[in-house]
Chains A and B, each alone.
Chain A
Amino acid sequence: MTRDRLLALAPSLFAVLALVLWEVLVRALHVPIYLVPGPVAIVGAFLADPLGLLGALLSTLVVTFAALVVACVLGVALALAMAASPWARAAIQPWAVVLQVTPVVAIAPLIIVWVGDPFAALVVCATIVAFFPVFANTAEGLEAPPPALFDLFRLNGAGPLQTLFLLRLPAALHFFLAGLRISGGLSLVGAVVAEFVAGSGGFASGLAYRILEASYRLQIPRMFAALVLLAAAGVAINLGLGWFGRWVLRHRG
């Protein structure tokens, strides 16, 4: 086996080693399961109620993707407005930053009160978190072409729509995709945070609520199982969007 192959396997080997070590230590030191459960207990907790946990994951993912779609539509629309008019730029930019720096935990209760429908409330919260990267990246990408290319378009009598579709949008594509990848992860974070806040308000279906519920009942292995699912979902979203971005860039023409 070559050195490169070994290097590629290193993360998995390390993970297996760490898991074994964890299980051994937990058993050897008699750590109570309500403090730190071992990997075997965590898998056991998942297998005890796989449909309940996966269903909760699905519910969280629905919120996540709904928020991501809304964030993309809003982000691209506002970025386009800023590219079209310096007035829009002056008006939008500072508020976008305000939205970005305000912690969603702080405004989530308000949103949950204002937006009657629980699902919509979660989507709004997650959108607020996911919005900024896709918006800021797209806005930057729309301005990315070198000034000489804008001059070239002017010299050939191009209208604003031609400049948008033949220059600005194609140039913004890989900026948008980079933003989308970041927003995808943030969208999951936003969904989970919103579920935590909403969970105590009585909306019970997402994975975050399962975590809360399990913690109240001191079902620590179940908490861990839910956490592992969340982390796996986050990684999958990140990898999936990265792959999607490369696929789009390869197939544009």
Chain B
Amino acid sequence: MLSIERAGRRFATGTQALDNASLRIEQGDFVALLGPSGCGKTTLLRLIAGLDRPDAGALKWDEGAPKPGEIGFVFQEATLLPWASAAENVFLPLRLRGQRRADTTEAVQHALAQVGLEGFAEARPAALSGGMRMRVSIARATVTRPRLLLMDEPFAALDEFTRHRLQHDLLRLWREIGCTVVFVTHSIYEAAFLARRIVLMTPRPGRIAQEIGSELPLSGERRLLPAYARLVADITTAMQSALASV
């Protein structure tokens, strides 16, 4: 789907947020960008989204750069419009592309159902829990049927039980929709649980250190599998040696 070739980004403050990053993202993959704060993972995500441009290197899309709506983005916070209902929030990306409310009711209801919020279409964000707000935010990102779903630490602010449920539901959603996901996280457990491929990044300057593939089966209680524990251990070891050499 996308090749990132020797991409670099230096901010006006002089910080080298990303340096010489090369990464191949395949259609249908679930990639986790994993690393501590300041390793450039969010910067890389914003480059992929087209919200920022690299000042070195390039992004090469196999089928041309994505058009509006072909990229879904889920932010760290749910960032819903507080004055609009859940359904209106999910409708927003369609509305911005000139579609009418009446023609999209089904798509909006479907997107809400996919994240388990059937009965909450008319609820305002203030009436929803943090986990439910994030679900609305995910529905808003998937309602346009994007080719690529970018997620920037979406579950970092949630409690662990809510986070586990959302991670579980996200995997199910990914299999249902069949889109490509790039997921930024600073949690080794989260990366190991979710991703098919884990990209380790190190800070100052932000660099890609290593890639680790995951052999975890797609279904079943993954968190309890010995293979999950081994994967967490492998990532931990790799991350430690990567950070030690910085």
Interface of B is mostly: loop
Query: Which of B88-96, B159-167, B212-220 contacts its partner?
Result: B88-96
> Does B75 reach chain A (CB closer than 8 Å)?
yes
| CB-CB contacts below 8 Å: A217-253 with B | 252
Bound Cα distance A158, B95 (Å)? 9
Known A-B contacts A155-B49, A155-B68, A166-B95; A148 and B81 likewise in contact (beta carbons under 8 Å): no
B43 at the interface (CB under 8 A from A): no
Chain A residues lying within 8 Å of B144, measured Cβ to Cβ, are 156
The answer to the question of B211 belonging to the interface, with a C-beta cut-off of 8 Å to chain A, is no
Q: Is B30 an interface residue (CB 8 A)?
A: no
Answer whether residue B73 sits at the interface, using C-beta atoms and an 8 A cutoff: yes
Mask for A145-157, Cβ within 8 A of B = 1, else 0?
A: 0101101111111
Q: In the complex, are the beta carbons of A154 and B51 less than 8 A apart?
A: yes
Question: Which of B75, B81, B83, B93 contacts A156 (CB under 8 A)?
Answer: B93
Note all chain B residues with C-beta closer than 8 A to A170.
Answer: 81, 83
Expressed in whole angstroms, the Cα–Cα distance for A166 and B80 within the complex equals 12
Query: Which residue of chain A has the shortest Cβ distance to B69 in the bound complex?
Result: A156
Cβ–Cβ contact B96 & A166, under 8 A: yes
In the assembled complex, the Cα of A155 lies from the Cα of B73 at a distance in Å of 8
Interface size in chain A (residues, C-beta < 8 A): 17
Task: Report the bound CA distance from A80 to B199 in whole Å.
Answer: 44
| Nearest-Cβ distance from residue A146 to partner chain B, whole angstroms | 6
Instruction: Tell which of B77, B93, B96, B97 touches A146, judged by Cβ atoms closer than 8 Å.
Output: B77
> Cα distance A146–B67 when bound, in Å?
23
Across the interface, B77 reaches (CB within 8 A) one of A148, A153, A157, namely: A148
B67 partner residues in chain A, CB cutoff 8 A: 157
Residue A162 CB within 8 A of the other chain: yes
Say whether A149 contacts B79, CB under 8 Å.
Answer: yes
Which residues in B have their C-beta under 8 angstroms from that of A162? 96
A143 to B: closest C-beta gap in Å:
15
Whole-angstrom CA separation of A189 from B219 in the bound complex:
70
Point out the residues of chain A lying under 8 angstroms from B83, CB to CB. 170, 173, 252
Chain B 75-111, CB-CB to A under 8 Å as 1, else 0, gives 1110101010000000011011100000000000000
A152 near B79 with CB under 8 A, answer: yes
Kindly state whether residue B71 has any CB partner on chain A within 8 Å.
yes
Contact with B along A164-182 (1 / 0, CB 8 A): 0011001001000000000
In angstroms, Cα B81 to Cα A158, docked, is 15
Identity of the chain B residue whose Cβ is nearest the Cβ of A163 in the assembled complex = B96
- Chain B residues lying within 8 Å of A156, measured Cβ to Cβ, are 68-69, 92-93, 96-97, 144
**Among A151, A154, A155, A167, which residue has its beta carbon within 8 angstroms of that of B81?**
A167
Interface centre among A154, A155, A167, A170, by most B CB within 10 Å? A155
Residue among A146, A155, A157 making CB contact with B79, cutoff 8 Å: A146
Q: B residues within 8 A CB of A157? A: 67-69, 96-97
Instruction: Report the Cα distance A166→B93, complex, angstroms.
Output: 11
Q: How far is the CB of A34 from chain B (nearest CB, A)?
A: 56
Residues of A near B51 (CB, < 8 A) are: 151, 154-155
Contacts of A155 in B (CB 8 A): 49-51, 68-69, 71, 73
CB neighbours of B96 from chain A (8 A): 153, 156-158, 162, 166
> Given A151-B73, A155-B50, 6 other A-B contacts at CB below 8 A?
A146-B79, A155-B51, A155-B71, A156-B93, A157-B96, A166-B92
Residues in chain A within 8 A of chain B (CB atoms): 146, 148-149, 151-158, 162, 166-167, 170, 173, 252
